[in-house]
A and B are shown apart, each in its own frame.
Chain A
Amino acid sequence: MTPLDHIRNFSIIAHIDHGKSTLADRLIQTTGGLTAREMSEQVLDNMDIEKERGITIKAQTVRLDYTAKDGQTYVLNLMDTPGHVDFAYEVSRSLAACEGALLVVDASQGVEAQTLANVYQSIEHDHEIVPVINKIDLPAAEPEKVKQEIEEIIGLPADGAVLASAKSGIGIDDILEALVERIPAPKGDINAPLKAMLVDSWYDPYLGVVILVRIIDGSLKKGQQVRFMQAGTTHLIDRVGCFRPKIEILDSLGPGEIGFITAQIKEVSQTAVGDTITDAKNPTKTALPGFKEVQPVVFCGLFPVDAADFDKLKESLGKLRLNDASFSFEAENSAALGFGFRCGFLGLLHLEIIQERLSREYDLDLITTAPSVVYHLNMTHGEGSIDLHNPADMPDVTRIESIDEPWIEATIYVPDQYLGAILKLCQDRRGIQKNMTYVGGRVQLIYELPLNEVVFDFYDRLKSISRGYASFDYHQTEYKQGDLVKMTIMVNGEVVDALSMIVHRHAAEGRGRQMCQRMKDLIPRHLFKIPIQAAIGGKVIARETIGAMRKDVTAKCYGGDISRKKKLLEKQKEGKKRMRQYGSVDIPQEAFIAALRMGDDS
């Protein structure tokens, strides 16, 4: 156990690409956690997806021993927090486990919206924040301008900002000294009953579920019987340790310390982030504040391209859920896409991550339907209110009194030359401007937006019209009533349920036209004419027609061509494997994906 005044717990707040992982690696290397040979690039981001996208999905910690200039050796616990708003709750729990943070800002890019959200959270946790201006050795570095931004936008004094370059190793010692000097030591009572926070958990094939904990009071050791207060379960601790970043088994963990435990738990769903862990025999009286059950916000259908992969998909989703209790799935049957699953996610990024892991780690070819949000339907005749997760399930309109939709508050940062285009985009998406502030050459916009306008392609559009310079962050606020209708798309007279969507009445015609036009370009010609219609209820609001295919015939075919022709036929038939019925329209998967991307510019 480490004395409280020799512990410093901190996290790193940074925008993607601003150098968080490089800095973390450098700190580990400098304090001797790993030899240079053992350092693979960016140690903390374990998953390929994390590495590629530069984001952290699961919280990770590493314990560093640092001998400061005062000659004392301190234990520094670096908490790497999830870096995206989709994981806002997990972030808040990770932050609650720390007393301070390093705010890393790129010396040429300045403060970004996403950084801001995490900084505010960190401030809310009364953290001591040490600004670090990174990449100062780049030619485009403007540390003074960035300091000004930190003061103006965030309202933090930036005099003491450390100038650094994690890549070149500049300023690393200054950062370590600042951590010791400026971040307060944790508080806690070793003699009080055990009180620890469950910060995060994940499934390890060798250890079972590994639980990351922060001890508030008391101590934790092997063989101890503990109780999870929210879950109401008891477990026997069979391992206590920390990461350096390699696993190190410890005798015990005391107040202020961060480490891990294992307790022969099989599923992460039994370990809710934010739960309070206490001693089973001598429990603490009050649980830690701030516990929340996470609810999925964005839903979409996932269907295997090859119907034979259904079981594999089911099994893969189950395996992913072993390690990520925050997404949900239930079986769904679509006339157009066959058997699949309706899945719920914390946000769009979470959706993309799961989708990518399914295709990459489980080698599944998937069709993803349009993401949708959860609507509250207020029913007539005293039927109360129901939650609608899938537009295809919308009940008859006569039974619906009104529909409420979720809204968000979005913070957007954009260089002022793109302001006009961004304002128009927000307006087109029914946004309500709350605030607009000029900071240097940039503008901070606060908008209220309906989430369903954002789940389509808002982020892609924002990036494309600002040439990648705009940054965006949001949090969900409240449900508001909206004039919403269900729009269906009919191909050859049949409703394609996967393309049904809930849209605002005023946007329906435009969306419908766009959708029909798109499907017209994407569906190849068939042997017959194909009408494509968008409709609300029974009323067609847009229509396109794909002309019949006119020519598909081989000019020359003699004795020597037979084998080749047959092989070609087999190949083409293979490509049509998921063909449903003759006379029905074969919609290529690309058509679904592209149609659901809904950009305005093509």
Chain B
Amino acid sequence: MALYIHWPFCLAKCPYCDFNSHVRSGIDQAVWRDALLADMAYEARLTAGRPLGSIFFGGGTPSLMPPETVATLIEAAGRYWKMAADIEITLEANPSSVEADRFQSLALAGVNRLSLGVQALDDESLRFLGRIHNVEEALSALEVAQRAFPRVSFDLIYGRPDQSIEDWQRELKQALAFGTDHLSLYQLTIEEGTRFHSLVRQGQFTPMDGDKAADLFDLTREMTKAAGIPAYEISNHARKNSESRHNLTYWRYGDYIGIGAGAHGRRHHAVTIRHRKPENWLAAIKGQHHGIKEETPITARDQAIEALLMGLRLTEGVDLERIARRTGLDVSEFLDLAAIQYYSDQGLLTFNNGLLRITEQGVLLTDALIREISL
């Protein structure tokens, strides 16, 4: 089982981001700490004693959390669940100098993996992405992080409008040179409800076309593989055994507890969704001692489909026998086996000994393939 803790605040909202983040001043840190503790205590009662393999502080910008709050939450989790000896505790951070100053205390609080939102390695692109840091700051934050934490990953957003193959090749080469054992490389996606979405609709810029984006993707796969941190998921690359264990839980369709504003979780075949707006979530905690807005059971079929949606993102593929066991369904009840045969003949996926995997050739078509083979 994994534990996700959401910190919904940011200093500024980035124009591409559709996550649950809010800009607020005067956050009462004691209130927020206690509220998160209460939310956790509620979940703990329902899952007491289960082994915990990872904790992930996401956001928003969790690097803005007081390190004491982080420490308190980790400590509480240790009391509620059976923490694995090698538990992975990740925190997402912005690479500003203010935050870099806290890395040491965050490490002392128990965080052992830092995921740094670098996003781009040139200032102009950072401005386009609405980031408040510059490259110099980012690089020094990365250096501090690599000294403070045993494991460090960072994010880049590529496929930006007008980015040439050569630009990205240069940028990625530089990124690989930092020698982190994990990289998240996302193609820029224009999500509904973001500022970028409006800008595109107003014609202020045009997203990169699919064919060019495909070329950049192929280049990314090649270069990371050559550098020894190949893709293990569509946008995630790691040296062997350095994969994000927490995220693997999502992709392998394991159970996870999600606490904090807007967090999703899944336990006992039910999905939990918490109030998104920070104020509403706080009010829910006050009134009902947990932040849950909806708790919905997931049907066996939906579980199977979700497991496919997540699992087929992984290079390792999905174990269909495991899904069948988990859901009590026969594989033929949620998959079109003839379609699988057809697309494996096309070389887009493989199906051996119950293991369904999308090939290197098919990975860019993952969504389309899932549409074609799922029932």
- Of the candidate stretches B71-79, B141-149, B341-349, the one touching chain A is B341-349
Task: Indicate if the CB atoms of B346 and A528 lie closer than 8 Å.
Answer: yes
Task: Indicate if the CB atoms of A554 and B234 lie closer than 8 Å.
Answer: yes
Listed in ascending order, the chain A residues whose CB lies under 8 Å from chain B are 527-528, 549-560, 562-563, 565-566, 569, 572-573, 576, 582-583
Task: Indicate if the CB atoms of B309 and A582 lie closer than 8 Å.
Answer: no
CA distance A406 to B374 in the complex (A): 50
Kindly list chain B residues whose C-beta atoms are within 8 Å of the C-beta of A557: 234, 309-310, 313
Task: Indicate if the CB atoms of B342 and A582 lie closer than 8 Å.
Answer: yes
CA distance A557 to B234 in the complex (A): 9
- Top 6 nearest A-B pairs (CB, nearest first) are A550-B214, A552-B368, A582-B339, A560-B264, A551-B214, A553-B366
Task: Indicate if the CB atoms of A553 and B365 lie closer than 8 Å.
Answer: yes
Q: For chain B, residues 126 to 158, give those with C-beta under 8 angstroms from any C-beta of chain A.
A: none
Task: Indicate if the CB atoms of B365 and A527 lie closer than 8 Å.
Answer: yes
Task: Indicate if the CB atoms of A569 and B371 lie closer than 8 Å.
Answer: yes
Task: Indicate if the CB atoms of B372 and A552 lie closer than 8 Å.
Answer: no
Task: Indicate if the CB atoms of B250 and A554 lie closer than 8 Å.
Answer: no
Write the chain A residue with the least CB distance to B234.
Answer: A553
Given A550-B211, A551-B217, A555-B234, decide whether A562 and B309 contact each other with a Cβ distance below 8 A. yes
Kindly list chain A residues whose C-beta atoms are within 8 Å of the C-beta of B336: 582
Q: For chain B, residues 354 to 368, give those with C-beta under 8 angstroms from any C-beta of chain A.
A: 363-368
Given A554-B189, A554-B234, decide whether A549 and B339 contact each other with a Cβ distance below 8 A. no
CA distance A483 to B303 in the complex (A): 61
Q: Quick check: is B210 within 8 A (CB to CB) of the other chain?
A: yes
Distance between B342 CB and nearest chain A CB, rounded to angstroms:
5
Number of interface residues, chain B, beta carbon within 8 A:
50
CA distance A563 to B256 in the complex (A): 14
One digit per residue, 1 when the CB lies within 8 angstroms of any chain A CB and 0 when it does not, for chain B 250-275 equals 10000010100011111000010100
Kindly list chain B residues whose C-beta atoms are within 8 Å of the C-beta of A528: 346
Task: Indicate if the CB atoms of B258 and A559 lie closer than 8 Å.
Answer: yes
Kindly list chain A residues whose C-beta atoms are within 8 Å of the C-beta of B264: 559-560, 562-563
CA distance A553 to B338 in the complex (A): 22
Q: Quick check: is B350 within 8 A (CB to CB) of the other chain?
A: no
Distance between B167 CB and nearest chain A CB, rounded to angstroms:
18
Kindly list chain A residues whose C-beta atoms are within 8 Å of the C-beta of B210: 549-551
Write the chain B residue with the least CB distance to A560.
Answer: B264
Write the chain A residue with the least CB distance to B262.
Answer: A560
SS class, residues of chain B in contact with chain A: helix
Task: Indicate if the CB atoms of A552 and B256 lie closer than 8 Å.
Answer: no
Task: Indicate if the CB atoms of A565 and B309 lie closer than 8 Å.
Answer: yes
Task: Indicate if the CB atoms of A560 and B364 lie closer than 8 Å.
Answer: no
Write the chain A residue with the least CB distance to B338.
Answer: A582
Q: Quick check: is B305 within 8 A (CB to CB) of the other chain?
A: yes
Q: Quick check: is B235 within 8 A (CB to CB) of the other chain?
A: yes
Task: Indicate if the CB atoms of A549 and B186 lie closer than 8 Å.
Answer: no
A-B pairs with beta carbons under 8 Å apart, 26 shown: A527-B365, A550-B210, A550-B214, A550-B365, A551-B217, A551-B365, A552-B368, A553-B363, A553-B365, A554-B234, A554-B367, A555-B234, A555-B235, A556-B189, A556-B235, A558-B247, A559-B4, A559-B264, A559-B266, A560-B20, A562-B306, A563-B273, A566-B302, A572-B371, A576-B371, A582-B336
Of the candidates B263, B343, B366, the one whose C-beta lies within 8 Å of that of A560 is B263
Distance between B314 CB and nearest chain A CB, rounded to angstroms:
11
Kindly list chain A residues whose C-beta atoms are within 8 Å of the C-beta of B19: 560
Distance between B228 CB and nearest chain A CB, rounded to angstroms:
23
CA distance A550 to B366 in the complex (A): 10
Write the chain A residue with the least CB distance to B249.
Answer: A559
Kindly list chain B residues whose C-beta atoms are within 8 Å of the C-beta of A572: 371
Task: Indicate if the CB atoms of B364 and A569 lie closer than 8 Å.
Answer: no
Kindly list chain A residues whose C-beta atoms are within 8 Å of the C-beta of B369: 527
CA distance A376 to B302 in the complex (A): 57
CA distance A356 to B265 in the complex (A): 50
Identify the interface centre among B189, B266, B370, B371: most chain A CB within 10 Å of its CB.
B371
Kindly list chain B residues whose C-beta atoms are within 8 Å of the C-beta of A555: 186-189, 234-235
Task: Indicate if the CB atoms of B343 and A552 lie closer than 8 Å.
Answer: no
CA distance A550 to B364 in the complex (A): 7
CA distance A528 to B342 in the complex (A): 12
Distance between B224 CB and nearest chain A CB, rounded to angstroms:
15
Task: Indicate if the CB atoms of B258 and A560 lie closer than 8 Å.
Answer: yes
Kindly list chain A residues whose C-beta atoms are within 8 Å of the C-beta of B258: 559-560
Of the candidates A527, A559, A565, the one whose C-beta lies within 8 Å of that of B265 is A559
Kindly list chain A residues whose C-beta atoms are within 8 Å of the C-beta of B250: 558-559, 562
CA distance A572 to B273 in the complex (A): 24
One digit per residue, 1 when the CB lies within 8 angstroms of any chain A CB and 0 when it does not, for chain B 170-198 equals 00000000000000001111000000000
Q: Quick check: is B213 within 8 A (CB to CB) of the other chain?
A: yes
Task: Indicate if the CB atoms of A556 and B186 lie closer than 8 Å.
Answer: yes
Write the chain B residue with the least CB distance to A573.
Answer: B371
CA distance A566 to B303 in the complex (A): 10
Kindly list chain B residues whose C-beta atoms are within 8 Å of the C-beta of A566: 302, 305-306, 309
Distance between A193 CB and nearest chain B CB, rounded to angstroms:
72
Not counting A527-B346, A557-B309, A563-B271, a sample of 14 additional A-B residue pairs whose C-beta atoms are within 8 angstroms of each other reads A527-B368, A527-B369, A552-B364, A555-B188, A555-B189, A559-B256, A560-B19, A560-B258, A560-B263, A562-B306, A569-B305, A569-B367, A569-B370, A582-B373
Distance between B246 CB and nearest chain A CB, rounded to angstroms:
9
Task: Indicate if the CB atoms of B365 and A549 lie closer than 8 Å.
Answer: yes
CA distance A448 to B243 in the complex (A): 76
CA distance A549 to B262 in the complex (A): 35
Q: For chain B, residues 258 to 297, give those with C-beta under 8 angstroms from any C-beta of chain A.
A: 258, 262-266, 271, 273
Write the chain A residue with the least CB distance to B218.
Answer: A550
Q: For chain B, residues 221 to 254, give those with C-beta under 8 angstroms from any C-beta of chain A.
A: 234-235, 247, 250
Write the chain B residue with the least CB distance to A552.
Answer: B368
CA distance A304 to B368 in the complex (A): 26
Write the chain B residue with the least CB distance to A563.
Answer: B271
CA distance A565 to B370 in the complex (A): 11
Distance between A203 CB and nearest chain B CB, rounded to angstroms:
45
Kindly list chain B residues whose C-beta atoms are within 8 Å of the C-beta of A565: 306, 309
CA distance A556 to B92 in the complex (A): 15
Identify the interface centre among B256, B313, B369, B370: most chain A CB within 10 Å of its CB.
B370
Distance between B5 CB and nearest chain A CB, rounded to angstroms:
12
Task: Indicate if the CB atoms of A552 and B367 lie closer than 8 Å.
Answer: yes
CA distance A65 to B4 in the complex (A): 86
Of the candidates B265, B271, B342, the one whose C-beta lies within 8 Å of that of A583 is B342
Write the chain A residue with the least CB distance to B254.
Answer: A559
Kindly list chain B residues whose C-beta atoms are within 8 Å of the C-beta of A558: 247, 250
Kindly list chain B residues whose C-beta atoms are within 8 Å of the C-beta of A573: 371, 374
CA distance A554 to B250 in the complex (A): 15
Kindly list chain A residues whose C-beta atoms are within 8 Å of the C-beta of B211: 550-551
Distance between A493 CB and nearest chain B CB, rounded to angstroms:
15
Distance between B339 CB and nearest chain A CB, rounded to angstroms:
4
Task: Indicate if the CB atoms of B372 and A527 lie closer than 8 Å.
Answer: yes
Kindly list chain A residues whose C-beta atoms are within 8 Å of the C-beta of B346: 527-528
Write the chain A residue with the least CB distance to B19.
Answer: A560
Distance between B351 CB and nearest chain A CB, rounded to angstroms:
14
Kindly list chain A residues whose C-beta atoms are within 8 Å of the C-beta of B338: 582
Write the chain B residue with the least CB distance to A562.
Answer: B306
CA distance A549 to B234 in the complex (A): 17
Kindly list chain B residues whose C-beta atoms are within 8 Å of the C-beta of A550: 210-211, 214, 364-365
CA distance A583 to B374 in the complex (A): 14
CA distance A576 to B302 in the complex (A): 19
Identify the interface centre among A551, A554, A562: most chain B CB within 10 Å of its CB.
A551
CA distance A558 to B265 in the complex (A): 11
Task: Indicate if the CB atoms of A549 and B305 lie closer than 8 Å.
Answer: no
Kindly list chain A residues whose C-beta atoms are within 8 Å of the C-beta of B373: 582
CA distance A558 to B263 in the complex (A): 11
